[in-house]
Amino acid sequence: MEIFLDTANIEHIRQAAKLGIVSGVTTNPSLVSKEGKADYEAVVKEICSIIPGPISAEVVVEGAQAMTEQARKIASWAPNIVIKIPATAEGLEVISALAKEKIKVNFTLCFSLNQALLAARAGAAYVSPFVGRLDDVGHDGMALVKDIVDVFRNYQLPTKVIAASIRHPQHCVAAAKAGAHIATVPYEVLMQMIKHPLTNVGVARFLSDWQRLSKK
């Protein structure tokens, strides 16, 4: 399973890039707005320059024609941009048009297997089931990830599944077990994934044992 970072925070992206395990970034209008930077193009371009993999940037207009036009504009900002399009009927229309132009789409705000299947048929490069938000309303978000992965495999559909709206490290474990191609994780969750208290205890003990030896 590949790891994407789910953030628009440039400092966090730079820090995570040093680890050498982040192969893409996903943003959304809320994440960009959280950083308080009005220049959307500048933020997205900077992210694209830090991480060479796929960088998802979302359209922020409504209507198939307006979304398609904005998607073309955003796609021109950098070669590694993927356009996030919401999982609606208009969104399908946009994906179909963009797929013909070889512009990659990430079908976002996906909450059902049918939405994912239609996105794959329309030519989406990625679908993003929102695990945490489904869990929030009493559904099983990860069961949806597994269903989508299984169905795409059954029909050999090339669309990749991004487990999104990840809230904690156990979501990452479950996404990997469910066969998600990618998990997009907030920076805090990425840092939690590497931490284990027994590792810290073990390192401290090894070092103190070593220092005791050097004092002899």
Contact between 52 and 80 (Cβ < 8 Å): yes
Residue number, 96 or 143, with CB nearest to ligand G3P:
143
Q: For ligand G3P, which stretch binds (CB under 6 A), given 26-34, 38-46, 64-72, 142-150?
A: 26-34
Q: Does 26 help bind ligand G3P (rule: CB under 6 A)?
A: yes
Contact between 66 and 93 (Cβ < 8 Å): no
- How many Å apart are CA 118 and CA 107, to the nearest integer? 10
Query: Does residue 84 carry a catalytic annotation?
Result: yes
Query: Counting Cβ atoms within 10 Å, is residue 184 exposed (0-12), middle (13-18) or buried (19+)?
Result: buried
Q: Does 130 help bind ligand G3P (rule: CB under 6 A)?
A: yes
Residues paired with residue 106 on neighbouring β-strands, in sequence order: 84, 126
Q: For ligand G3P, which stretch binds (CB under 6 A), given 34-42, 95-103, 126-134, 151-159?
A: 126-134
Report the length, in residues, of the chain: 216
Binding to ligand G3P (CB under 6 A): which residues in 91-110? none
- How many Å apart are CA 148 and CA 154, to the nearest integer? 10
Per-residue DSSP letter, 101: T
Q: Does 53 help bind ligand G3P (rule: CB under 6 A)?
A: no
- How many Å apart are CA 79 and CA 41, to the nearest integer? 14
Per-residue DSSP letter, 137: T
Single out the catalytic residue among 84, 104, 146, 160.
84
Residue number, 27 or 97, with CB nearest to ligand G3P:
27
Q: For ligand G3P, which stretch binds (CB under 6 A), given 12-20, 24-32, 62-70, 96-104?
A: 24-32
Q: Does 189 help bind ligand G3P (rule: CB under 6 A)?
A: no
Q: Does 6 help bind ligand G3P (rule: CB under 6 A)?
A: yes
Binding to ligand G3P (CB under 6 A): which residues in 160-179? 164-165
Report the interface residues with ligand G3P, using CB under 6 A.
6, 26, 28, 31, 128, 130, 132-133, 164-165, 184
